[in-house]
Amino acid sequence: MTAQAKAVFLKSAFRAADFPALPHPEIAVMGRSNVGKSSFLNMVTGVRGLVKVGAKPGVTKSINFFILEGRITLVDLPGYGYAKLPVEMKKQFLPLIRSYLAARDRLRLVFLLIDIRREPGDFEHEMIAHLEKLGIPTAIVATKCDKLPRGRRAQRRREIADGLGIGADSVFLSSAETGDGKKELMGLIREYGSGKEKDV
């Protein structure tokens, strides 16, 4: 029998006072609205329907906590605003995200997701700098890689890495449609979730 990751929903928090006190190492998923954060969690855990996914941006409006195999906390963060929204609405979840990052002393790793077809923008640059300042390891994930033919993926991976000033090896590819990247990403979750982490 293959060991299947078992993940369960714990709670939603709309403000810092509602964040649960948990003993486990914690790993969070962050990125622009509609980039595929919730789908990413469904894909890596293998639990279809664990997190609500939507065609329209702005589906996740709270911070959602999940427990993986009873020993790792996984966190789905609301998205940074959709490009078509007014600036004020785009930024509506940033204070909540910042207070989350400041509050969680067991946070071991943040997955920062970028659509493989997009260029990293101000949000990604600012968040990477912010996470670095807080000393939180960050793994960049290029999502929806099924949208590009295989031959184009390596090139986009390099371009995203160049845009962020990091090595191409630090950008992981994923697809919630095909399961591409699942093994590697689950490997990172287990590594960081066990406390025996290597550098990303």
Ligand X SMILES: Nc1nc2c(ncn2[C@@H]2O[C@H](COP(=O)(O)OP(=O)(O)OP(=O)(O)O)[C@@H](O)[C@H]2O)c(=O)[nH]1
Q: Judged by CB, which is closer to Mg ion: 76, or 124? A: 76
State the minimum distance, in angstroms, from the CB of residue 45 to Mg ion: 14
Q: How many whole angstroms from its chain centre is CA 173?
A: 12
State the minimum distance, in angstroms, from the CB of residue 23 to ligand X: 26
48-63 burial, b if ≥16 CB within 10 A, otherwise e? eebbebeeebbbbebb
Distance separating alpha carbons of residues 170 and 149, to the nearest angstrom: 21
Q: Judged by CB, which is closer to Mg ion: 37, or 144? A: 37
**Binds 33: which of ligand X, Mg ion, none (CB < 5-8 Å by kind):** ligand X
**Binds 46: which of Mg ion, ligand X, none (CB < 5-8 Å by kind):** none
Q: Judged by CB, which is closer to ligand X: 93, or 192? A: 93
State the minimum distance, in angstroms, from the CB of residue 195 to ligand X: 27
**Distance in Å from the first CA to the final CA of the chain:** 30
State the minimum distance, in angstroms, from the CB of residue 38 to ligand X: 3
Number of helical (H) and strand (E) elements in the chain, helices listed first: 6, 7
Strands 72-76 and 63-68, sheet pairing:
antiparallel
Q: Judged by CB, which is closer to ligand X: 31, or 120? A: 31
| R_g over Cα of the chain | 16
**Binds 29: which of Mg ion, ligand X, none (CB < 5-8 Å by kind):** none
**Binds 138: which of Mg ion, ligand X, none (CB < 5-8 Å by kind):** none
Contact residues toward Mg ion (CB under 5 A) are 37-38, 59-60
State the minimum distance, in angstroms, from the CB of residue 49 to ligand X: 12
Contact residues toward ligand X (CB under 6 A) are 31, 33-39, 53-55, 57-60, 78-79, 143-144, 146-147, 175-177
Q: Judged by CB, which is closer to ligand X: 36, or 120? A: 36
Locate 65 and state its tokens: 């906590």
Distance separating alpha carbons of residues 156 and 61, to the nearest angstrom: 30
Q: What share of the chain is helix, strand, coil (3-state, %, to 5)?
A: 35, 20, 40
